[in-house]
Copies of this chain bind each other. A is one copy, B any other.
Amino acid sequence: MASLWMSKLKLPLLLLILQIIFVVLFGLTVEYDDSADAKRSSSKTNDVEKYYPMFQDVHVMIFVGFGFLMTFLKRYGYSSVGFNMLLGALVIQWAILVLGYFHKEHDKIQVGITSMLTADFAAAAVLISFGALLGKVGPLQLVIVAMIEIAIFGLNEWIGVKHLQAVDIGGSMFVHAFGAYFGLAVSRVNDNRKVNNSKNEGTVVHSDLFSMIGTIFLWLFWPSFNSALAAGDDQHRAVINTYLALAACCMTTFAISSLVDKHGKFDMVHIQNATLAGGVAVGTTADMMIEPYGALLIGSLAGFLSTVGYKYITPFLNTKLRVHDTCGVNNLHGMPAIFAGIAGAVASSLATTDNYGFSLYESFPARVPVNGSAAYIDLTGNIQVDPGLGRSAGQQAGYQMAALAVTVAIATVGGLLTGLVIRLVPNLGKPGEQQFFDDEKYWNLPEMEHTFDHAQPNGSHCINESELDESPRPMFRGHAVQEPHTTIQEAESTDQA
């Protein structure tokens, strides 16, 4: 009984302890951004005016977009949108500390609108990983994954941005590729083949429509994601390119979805996800001079790649490589992000002062001549002034590819190790095989009214409680009539480790 009590306490106590740690660490190491401090601020204007509208778009993407996108499962809506919110709230605090540490320039870490933006980007990586694990991993495990992932995320982004000086305005490599392959690696280590027997891994009409809320807000606000940290003509170009890439991607997704279906019908899973791949695929090149037709081309190919991925590659990964990918993050984030990184290298190799003019050194600061200098804005929004490295176009392209390779490598290894942690540490509240994709284990669900039991006094009733226990649960409201028999004891007994 004591152990049951302890088991039930683990997650809430961990959350409270983490929150206390955050308060202490913020107290010791974090101060307001210069433009947000009453005494240090020198001007009536502030960064809020420049960044806030796009920050809020990104904020909506993280919490409404990812949150509702994942509600497609018929019995996992509470967990999808709820755990998404919990992980997001956890990560934005932790990421301010971690990214602030890696990019520290003052005595203390400064928090402001740009660090909020980058914290939201970091949350995106974790929530993409969550998509690979959705329904198969419990919230205690997810919190542990998120904490480790952010530390590795910060390291990888620091290597890519600071040391390799790769550019990636929309975070396709540092956010999308990283989050996808990290999550897939965690999924691989925690693979349980029984997942494929679950009756819960399906949709109902209203869960599909809730999911479309997520899809469309992601699709609409993706230009903000890819341009929020850019400025001037770079920002305008990033908005245009992302808008065009997503429009083209939507077209090819519908086309390929119908083409690969035996009756020519559309598949909701493609529309919910692959329509967004254009935003990922154009993420690295969004602020480059790829020309409008280039954006359309990248978006078109991303829709093709992603839809084909859902149809053929996801089943292959599941059956052949034992990588179960609940939301198909490999198709929406992983492959399109690799495509984005390669496109970024190609576009970098074509960038000259002929097509960029003076802007070349802003877009690619490492290309500043050795005796020159240039300012650029890093992922945390700080202006960096570095001595030029004098890279050629080809060299920059090489470093872009290096950043992509490093990211995939660090994400995969980091994910495998993190996956081992949550696999080997015992009693982390992992769902049992009967509890995959089911809110029941973690949420108090609404009771059904048992109207049928009372409606037919003469014995002609359709469903009574005893029958329910022996049969698939009726799905009137997306959830079933059932006694709340999932106790802690039972949960623990199904725990693997």
Contact = CB atoms under 8 A, between A and B. Distances in A.
B446 A474 contact: no
Contacts of A40: 357
A292 B82 CA distance: 25
B240 A111 contact: yes
9 contacts: A12-B254, A23-B296, A32-B240, A48-B239, A53-B56, A63-B216, A206-B209, A268-B443, A450-B472
Contacts of A442: 265-266
A57 B217 CA distance: 11
A202 B446 contact: yes
Contacts of A93: 244, 247-248, 251, 296
A249 to B, nearest CB: 8
B476 A455 contact: no
Given A456-B462, A471-B455, A488 B443 contact: no
A442 B116 CA distance: 42
Given A19-B252, A81-B212, A293 B30 contact: yes
A104 interface: no
B444 A268 contact: yes
A16 B255 contact: yes
Contacts of A24: 293
Contact of A199 (B53, B82, B449, B473): B449
Contacts of A476: 475-476
A487 B296 contact: no
A94 to B, nearest CB: 10
Contacts of A7: 264
A45 interface: yes
Contacts of A236: 32-33, 35-36, 41, 46-48, 112-113
A37 interface: yes
A316 interface: no
